[in-house]
Chain A
Amino acid sequence: MTHSLHGRLDDVTGDAGYADHPKRKGFFTDTSVCIGCKACEVACKEWNQVPDDGFELTGMSYDNTQALGASTWRHVAFVEKPVHPTTADLGLPGMGPPGFGTHESGLPQAAPAGEDQATASGDGALRWLMSSDVCKHCTHAACLDVCPTGSLFRTEFGTVVVQPDICNGCGYCVPACPYGVIDLRKEDGRAFKCTLCYDRLKEGQTPACAQACPTESIQFGDVDELRQRADARLAELHDRGVDVARLYGRDPEDGVGGDGAFFLLLDEPEVYGLPPDPVVTTRDIGSIWKHVGAAAATLVGIGVVSFAGRRR
């Protein structure tokens, strides 16, 4: 039983009681080719008929979606990072004649093309990182584990899905998710998140986001094959000197047993709003129950102590 709560688990679908099942399906999101077009966000909403999530200009670069939630199942993050700070040396007003600030000392060296995934631009280089985030469909999914109704469940494709006909909106899945993916939709009361287009999978179709993605940043397929693809892509980028490339959620030994939807990132996970080392909370369920039991026993003890010497 322990192995099905954390650590490596090769047949997560079988573990969920499916004797004869298709291969586990998932996403590999290669952010190095993401152009931030947000087609995934819209295609997802159109297919799944997810309501809009408010009209707010956030000032977070071109990200006005902000985060995954009950009404946002794909979220494209935009991170602007100057590789060479250009602000200070741009001859700000009051620093002598225009253009003669500290800039005179010479132009910063533009990063060589390709290196560090930074684009040389004018007198500096800029990274504008874009990444389409989605539910990770964890091997060990906390949302699923803690769901008291069985609404959240592991499908025959190894994905994690909310059954809207079951969910009673208890909200337990919300704080359980180490990625902050799932949420309750206020006006509806129930929890919602990416289903990996469960209905489409039933007919062998590609999920809406992956089908729309113009640059194949979002790749859909069998998880084992996607992992190989991700490894190959990582090696390719490393060969090209893009040392910042790393895989996220690909490792079956990680805190959630690897993600069904994993990523190739070009910076630290937290830069994109992802936890650097997520762990499924139910990894500790044994310890938790142990302590709960001990505490309950303590309470019994307190009871006994309270009545000590008062026997009728």
Chain B
Amino acid sequence: MGAKAFIELWPVLRQLRGADKLGRGSAVMSSRSEHLRPRTTTADRVVDSVCPFCAVGCGQKVFVKDEKVTQIEGNPASPISRGRLCPKGSASTQLVTSPTRETKVRYRRPHGTEWEDLDLDTAMDMIADRVIKTRREFWEWEDDEGRRTRRTLGIASLGGATLDNEENYLMKKLYTAMGAIQIENQARI
């Protein structure tokens, strides 16, 4: 180790040589501190988004590094929120990276006492089969007064207020084509 490097390393010597005699500032700065940068600056990309909680619609910026969300914070450009977020919005990173999030399909068979694993593709197929079956079973061309209804009351759906417009659109479109009418969401609750 050269003398110069040693001086760099041992802050006592930096104290003696520099302006920070008391060893409370520049002399004691560590190399980590010197090279510290916010993780947002090293993000691979920044994506514009909107807070998923209430309907104020605050702007968010999503920082992504190695295909992982590393930070979500307010977007100052938004005329609605001007970069600010409430505690819920501020917890968005934790929301999307939560370790308790379910990421696997879970299946409970009729009368079952525990969850079971189920392959996503199988689950999709089973659901499609059940929709077809229930729809047919509860199909109704006309009501008991003979009025044409062309529908099923066997299938219902609840939800949409947390979803995208495009999703609600596809849902309503598909349900309507299925003849399902008991379609509801939080707006009624």
Please determine if A and B sit in direct contact within the complex, based on CB atoms under 8 angstroms apart. Answer: yes
Find residues 19-36 in chain A having any chain B CB closer than 8 Å to their own CB: 19
Residue of B whose beta carbon sits closest to that of A38: B87
Q: Please tell me which stretch of A102-110, A158-166, A184-192 contacts chain B, meaning at least 4 of its Cβ atoms lie within 8 angstroms of it.
A: A158-166
Tell me whether A37 and B18 are in contact in the complex, defined as CB-CB below 8 angstroms, given that A150-B11, A153-B25, A154-B25 are known contacts: no
**Contact yes or no, A145 B24, CB < 8 A:** yes
Residue of B whose beta carbon sits closest to that of A163: B30
Distance from A306 Cβ to chain B, minimum over Cβ atoms (Å): 36
Can you list, as one digit per residue, whether each of A142-179 has a CB less than 8 Å from chain B (1) or not (0)? 00110000110111100001011110000000000000
Find residues 221-275 in chain A having any chain B CB closer than 8 Å to their own CB: none
**Contact yes or no, B18 A17, CB < 8 A:** yes
Residue of B whose beta carbon sits closest to that of A214: B84
A42 CB contact (under 8 Å) in B20, B74, B87:
B87
Can you list, as one digit per residue, whether each of B138-181 has a CB less than 8 Å from chain A (1) or not (0)? 00000000000000000000000000000000000000000000
Q: How many angstroms from the CA of A23 to the CA of B32 in the assembled complex?
A: 22
Residue of B whose beta carbon sits closest to that of A213: B84
User: Does chain B have a CB within 8 A of A205?
Assistant: yes
Residues on the A chain within 8 Å of B84, using CB: 39, 211-214
Residues on the A chain within 8 Å of B103, using CB: none
**Contact yes or no, A18 B26, CB < 8 A:** yes
**Contact yes or no, A16 B38, CB < 8 A:** no
User: Does chain B have a CB within 8 A of A46?
Assistant: yes
Residues on the A chain within 8 Å of B25, using CB: 13, 15-18, 153-155
Q: How many angstroms from the CA of A39 to the CA of B92 in the assembled complex?
A: 12
Q: Count of B residues near A, CB < 8 Å?
A: 40
Q: How many angstroms from the CA of A153 to the CA of B90 in the assembled complex?
A: 29
Q: How many angstroms from the CA of A8 to the CA of B27 in the assembled complex?
A: 23
How many CB-defined contacts (below 8 Å) exist between A and B?
A: 116
**Contact yes or no, A205 B33, CB < 8 A:** no
Find residues 6-30 in chain B having any chain A CB closer than 8 Å to their own CB: 11, 18-30
Residue of A whose beta carbon sits closest to that of B18: A17
Can you list, as one digit per residue, whether each of B70-101 has a CB less than 8 Å from chain A (1) or not (0)? 01111010000001111111111110000000
User: Does chain A have a CB within 8 A of B122?
Assistant: no
Q: Please tell me which stretch of A83-91, A116-124, A194-202 contacts chain B, meaning at least 4 of its Cβ atoms lie within 8 angstroms of it.
A: A194-202
Q: How many angstroms from the CA of A17 to the CA of B26 in the assembled complex?
A: 5
**Contact yes or no, A46 B71, CB < 8 A:** yes
Q: Count of A residues near B, CB < 8 Å?
A: 41
**Contact yes or no, B85 A163, CB < 8 A:** no
Distance from A263 Cβ to chain B, minimum over Cβ atoms (Å): 20
Tell me whether A42 and B91 are in contact in the complex, defined as CB-CB below 8 angstroms, given that A150-B28, A211-B74, A212-B74 are known contacts: yes
Residues on the A chain within 8 Å of B91, using CB: 42, 46
**Contact yes or no, B24 A46, CB < 8 A:** no
Residue of B whose beta carbon sits closest to that of A5: B22
**Contact yes or no, B19 A17, CB < 8 A:** yes
Distance from B100 Cβ to chain A, minimum over Cβ atoms (Å): 13
Tell me whether A198 and B90 are in contact in the complex, defined as CB-CB below 8 angstroms, given that A150-B23, A212-B73 are known contacts: no
Can you list, as one digit per residue, whether each of B37-64 has a CB less than 8 Å from chain A (1) or not (0)? 1111100000000000000000000000
User: Does chain A have a CB within 8 A of B36?
Assistant: yes
B94 CB contact (under 8 Å) in A4, A46, A166:
A46
Distance from B54 Cβ to chain A, minimum over Cβ atoms (Å): 12
Tell me whether A17 and B87 are in contact in the complex, defined as CB-CB below 8 angstroms, given that A202-B36, A202-B38 are known contacts: no
User: Does chain B have a CB within 8 A of A92?
Assistant: no
Closest 10 CB pairs of A and B: A16-B25, A17-B20, A150-B28, A17-B26, A42-B90, A17-B19, A43-B90, A154-B25, A42-B87, A199-B38
Chain A interface residues toward B at CB < 8 A: 1, 4, 13, 15-19, 37-39, 41-43, 46-47, 144-145, 150-151, 153-156, 161, 163-166, 197-200, 202-203, 205, 208, 211-214
**Besides the contacts A156-B26, A202-B37, what 7 more A-B pairs have beta carbons closer than 8 Å?**
A16-B20, A38-B87, A150-B28, A161-B33, A163-B32, A199-B39, A212-B85
A and B contact pairs by CB, cutoff 8 A, 15 listed: A17-B19, A39-B84, A39-B86, A41-B87, A46-B71, A46-B72, A144-B24, A150-B24, A161-B33, A165-B31, A198-B36, A199-B37, A205-B38, A211-B76, A212-B86
